[in-house]
A and B are shown apart, each in its own frame.
Chain A
Amino acid sequence: MSHGSIIKIPFGPQHPALKEPVNFLFEVDGETVVNVKPRIGYNHRGIEKAFELRTYTRNIYLAERICGICSDAHTTCYTQAIEELLGVEAPLRARYIRVIIAELERIQSHALWLGLVAHEIGFDTLFMYIWRDRETILDIFEMISGNRIHYAMNTIGGVRRDIHAAMMPKIKKGLDLMEKRVKYYLDVVQTEQTILKRATGVGILKPKDAVDLCAVGPILRASGIKNDVRADDPYAAYNEIPFNVITCDGCDILSRIMVRLEEMLEGVEIARHALDSMPEGVIRVRVPMKVPQGEVVSRVEAPRGELIHYAKSNGTTKPERYKVRSPTLGNIPALCKMLLGGYVADIPIVLAGIDPCFACMDRMAFIDTKKNRKWVLTMPQLRRKYKRKCMQK
C-alpha cells in the first residue's frame, strides 16, 4: 500500500503505547515505516550524579530505585561491585537468597512484559489473566521482604532478610502455580491464531545484526545467540546451580515471547533448586564504611538483559564516579533496526518487544550535531542558564 507520500508520525513522548516518556519520529509511507529517529532523555533523573553525593550504604537504596521492575538486579550489581572493591564475599546462604530473589524477579518481570505485549496487540483478556497470576509472585515478595516491588533485600556483604523454613511451603506453592500457568500461556501463544498472525515474522532481527548492534538479553537469545551473564560470568550462586540458557532462532516477536516464557519456567526450576540446596549459615558480613581506592565493573543478567555497573572509589565513604549501563540502552539500536520496513500497526508490539525501561536508561549529553562538539555543563553553569531563562519569562 504505497501512496507515494511520506507522513511523519511522532510517537511519544506522551503516547498510550508508551509507559514512559520517549520520542520516536517515524517516517511512514502508507502503512510502512521507512525511517526511525529515536530521541531519548525525557526522563533523566541525574542518578549517577546522585550516587557521588551519597554514602555507599545510602546508595544501595538509590540503586534500588533506578528501576521499579528490576530493582533487585540493580542492587545485586551495585553490592557486587562494592564487595569487590572491599575485597569481601557475601556468605553462601546470602548468595543463594540473591539467586532466589533474582529468579522470582525475572518471573514477575517477564509476566508483566507478556501482559503488556498482549495489550499492545489488543488482546486485553490475556493481559488481565497474566497480571492476575503475577500477583502470586508479588505476594511471595511481600511475605519475604515486606514489599511488593522494592524488596530492599541486598546489602553490602550479604542480604538483609533470611528466607525461613516457614516460608518454604508458600513459596513452593506459588512456584507450582506459576509453572502451571506459564505452561498454559505457552500453549496459548503457540495455538491462538490472532497472536500468531501478529507475532510471527514481525520485528525481525537477524543474528548478525543482533551481534553487530550489541543487543542484549532475551532479544539476543531470541535471535539464536547463546549469551547469558548467569552462565558466561556466573555471579551470586549461579555457578552451583545447573540451568539451561534458553534460545530461540525465530528472530521475531513470537520467539521473544517464547524465550521469555521458557525463561520463566527455567526460573521456577532454578528457584526450586536454590530453595532445596540452600546451605545454613549467616546471611551477611559486616563491612567498613570506607571503601579502598580502586575501580570495578560488575555485570548481572537483569530480566531485560545484561546490566553493567561501574564504580570508582577514592578511598572515602562516597564513590568518586558511578556509571550504570541498563539493558534498554543496549537494545535501542537493535530496536530501530527491527522497526524499519515494518507496518505502523506493528510499531507498538515491536517497541514493547524489547521490554523497554526508558527511565532506567535516560542519559544526558550536550551535543552540537552541526559542529560535532560535545560538552559537559557543571552545576553552577546549569543553574545560571536556568536562572536566565526564568528571568526572561
Chain B
Amino acid sequence: MHAEITSLLAILVFPGVIFLFVLAFFYEWVDRKFFAKLQNRYGPLHTGAHGILQPLADFLKLLSKEDITPFASDKLIFALAPIFYLALPLTTLFVVPILSQTSLITFEGDLIFVLFTFTLIIMTVFLAGWSSISRFSTIGSIRATLQMLGYEIPMGLVTIGPAIAAKSLSISKIVEWQSLHFWIVFLQPLGFAIFTICLLAELQFVPFDIPEAETEIVAGWRTEFSGRKLAVLRLGKDLELVLASALITSLYLGGPQQFWLIPPIITFLVKTTFAVMLLSLLRAVFARFRIDQMLTGTWKYLLPLATFQVILIQLGFGG
C-alpha cells in the first residue's frame, strides 16, 4: 500500500504532473527573460521577483477569458486538440529521467516512443489548425506538417547516435552509459548540433517559426483558439520546451548525474536551464526562413550531415 501511494505521488506530484507544470512555467520565464536580455529589453518584470510569476499569471488570466468556438469549426476536434497538445509532451516526459538515472516509466525502445510522440504532436497541430476552418489556421497547419517532413528524418537519424553508443534504445540506459563513460556531446558534437536545430523546428522557434509567423498568418494554426483552449495550448508549448531541453540533457549532456554531494535533480535542472538558454539564444540571432528555404535546407544539408554522423559512429568515431 505504501509503495503504491509513493508511486502515485511520484506520478502526480513529484517528479510528475505538478512538478512538470511548475517547471514548464519556470522555463517559459527563463526563455522570455533571457530572450529579452539578448534583445536589450527587460522582459517580465512586475509579477513576482523579476517577473517569475508572469507565465502563471498569463495562464490564469487566459483561463478566465471568453472561450470562443468558431461557428464553422469541427467542434469535437477543435475542443480535443488542445488537450492532446498538452497531454502528449506531458506523457512523454515520464520516460525521460529527471529525479535519478532511471525514469518513472522505462522500457526498451522508449527513445522510439519519444520520436513517435513528436510526430503525434505535429499531427495534433495539424488537426487543431485544420478544424478551425480559418484561412490563417489552414495555412499554418499545412506549413507545420510540411516543416515536419523536413526535420523529422534528420532528427530520427541523429538520435540513433546516442543509442548506438549506449547499445540501447532506452533513454535511461543512455543516461546510465554516459555516467560511466563520457557525455555524448563530446563524442558526437555534430549530432548535438543537428539535434538542437531539429528541436528548434519542432518547437517552432525562430528561424523555424514558419507555422505561426506572426506577420504573415497572424498566429498560424493557433489563430482561432482563445480562452481556456489557448491557455492549455500555451502550457502544452511550455511542456514541449521542457521536453526538448530534457531530451538534450538526457541524450547529450549526461542527464541527472550525482556530482559529489549535489543530488541528480539539481544537475538536471542546471543542465536543462542551460539547454533552454541555448534554444533562446539561437532564436534570438536569426531571421525567419521561408518554408521552401527551410525544406531545401534540411534535405540538402541537415539530412546528409545526419547520415554522415551515423557513418562516423559506424566507423568507430564517437561511439
**Residues of A bordering B, CB below 8 Å:** 1, 7, 9-10, 15-17, 31, 118-126, 128-129, 132, 192, 194-195, 197-198, 343-348
Contact = CB atoms under 8 A, between A and B. Distances in A.
A125 B39 contact: yes
Given A16-B214, A194-B286, A197-B293, 14 more contacts: A9-B139, A122-B206, A122-B214, A123-B206, A124-B284, A125-B284, A128-B41, A194-B287, A198-B290, A344-B216, A344-B217, A346-B290, A347-B216, A348-B215
A331 to B, nearest CB: 19
Given A122-B206, A122-B209, A128-B41, A192 B287 contact: yes
B291 A31 contact: yes
Contacts of A198: 287-290
Interface string B201-227: 000001101100111111000000000
Nearest to B293: A197
B40 interface: yes
Nearest to A17: B215
A28 to B, nearest CB: 9
Contacts of A126: 287
B292 interface: yes
B288 A194 contact: yes
A101 B200 CA distance: 45
A10 B134 CA distance: 11
A129 B289 CA distance: 20
A354 to B, nearest CB: 15
Contacts of A125: 38-39, 284-285
A128 B290 contact: no
Interface string B274-287: 00000000001111
B75 interface: no
Interface string B65-91: 000000000000000000000000000
Contact of A15 (B139, B218, B288, B289): B218
Contact of B292 (A15, A124, A343): A343
A132 B216 contact: no
B286 A123 contact: yes
Contacts of A119: 215
A122 B213 contact: yes
B50 interface: no
A347 B291 CA distance: 13
A125 B41 CA distance: 10
A27 B210 CA distance: 20
A31 B292 contact: yes
Contact of A194 (B135, B209, B289, B291): B289
Given A31-B292, A125-B39, A128-B40, A345 B287 contact: no
Contact of A17 (B40, B216, B291, B292): B216
B158 to A, nearest CB: 22
Interface in B28-42: 38-41
Interface in B220-271: none
Contact of A120 (B207, B215, B218, B284): B215
B139 A344 contact: yes
Q: Which of A16, A122, A132 has the most CB of B within 10 A?
A: A122
Contact of A118 (B217, B287, B292): B287
B207 A345 contact: no
Contacts of A124: 39, 206, 284
A197 B214 CA distance: 19
Residue from the set B38, B217, B287 with the largest chain A CB neighbour count within 10 Å: B287
Contacts of B217: 344
A256 to B, nearest CB: 16
B39 A122 contact: no
Contacts of B289: 194, 197-198
Residue among A9, A125, A128, A346 with most chain B CB within 10 A = A125
Given A122-B206, A122-B213, A347-B216, A128 B286 contact: no
Nearest to A116: B215
Nearest to A194: B287
Given A7-B135, A194-B207, A348 B292 contact: no
Contacts of B39: 124-125, 128-129
A31 B242 CA distance: 33
Given A124-B39, A129-B40, A1 B292 contact: yes
Interface in B279-319: 284-293
22 contacts: A9-B135, A9-B139, A15-B218, A17-B214, A31-B292, A120-B215, A122-B206, A122-B213, A122-B286, A124-B39, A124-B284, A125-B38, A129-B40, A194-B289, A195-B287, A197-B287, A197-B293, A198-B290, A344-B139, A344-B217, A348-B215, A348-B216
B135 A343 contact: no
B312 to A, nearest CB: 26
A345 B213 contact: yes
Contacts of A347: 216
A17 B206 CA distance: 17
A10 B135 CA distance: 9
Given A16-B214, A129-B39, A348-B216, A121 B135 contact: no
Contacts of B284: 124-125
A361 B216 CA distance: 23
Interface string B27-64: 00000000000111100000000000000000000000
Given A9-B135, A198-B290, A345-B291, A122 B207 contact: yes
Contacts of B218: 15-16
Contacts of A31: 291-292
Given A120-B215, A122-B215, A343 B40 contact: no
A344 B143 CA distance: 12
B277 to A, nearest CB: 15
B291 A123 contact: no
A163 to B, nearest CB: 30
4 interchain residue pairs of minimum CB distance = A122-B288, A123-B287, A194-B287, A17-B215
